[in-house]
Amino acid sequence: MSQQQFENFTASTLYCEKCRATTPVREKLLLVLPDREIFDYLCTECGSSVGQREVTAGEKMMAEALASPSRRRRNVPLRSLR
């Protein structure tokens, strides 16, 4: 898996308008729907929402298969992905 593909499904930094800088973000599960889940990205500096992401059932299955074989519900802290 290339670095580019990986960044497509996990954003580690986003531009925050409040901070006027690119900051590390925290991913928070916002809404669970039957066919998708919606995640909120929160700036770790000021806590404001800087973006959202929809994960469809298919994408989620793929992401989970890549992440770990067992289903994790725990909040894994976002490391800087370098």
Q: How far is the CB of 77 from Zn ion (least distance, A)?
A: 17
Site stretch for Zn ion (CB under 5 A), options 2-10, 15-23, 25-33, 61-69: 15-23
Q: Of 62, 46, 43, nearest to 5 (Cα)?
A: 62
Quick one: 48 or 56, whose CB is closer to Zn ion? 48
Site stretch for Zn ion (CB under 5 A), options 3-11, 14-22, 24-32, 67-75: 14-22
Backbone angles phi, psi at 69, to 5 degrees: -70, -30
Q: How far is the CB of 82 from Zn ion (least distance, A)?
A: 21
Starting at the edge strand that comes first in sequence, how are the strands of the sheet with 49-56 ordered? 13-16, 21-32, 36-43, 49-56
Given the DSSP bridges, would you call strands 36-43 and 49-56 parallel, antiparallel or unpaired? antiparallel
Span 19-58, contacts to Zn ion by CB under 5 A: 19, 43, 45-46
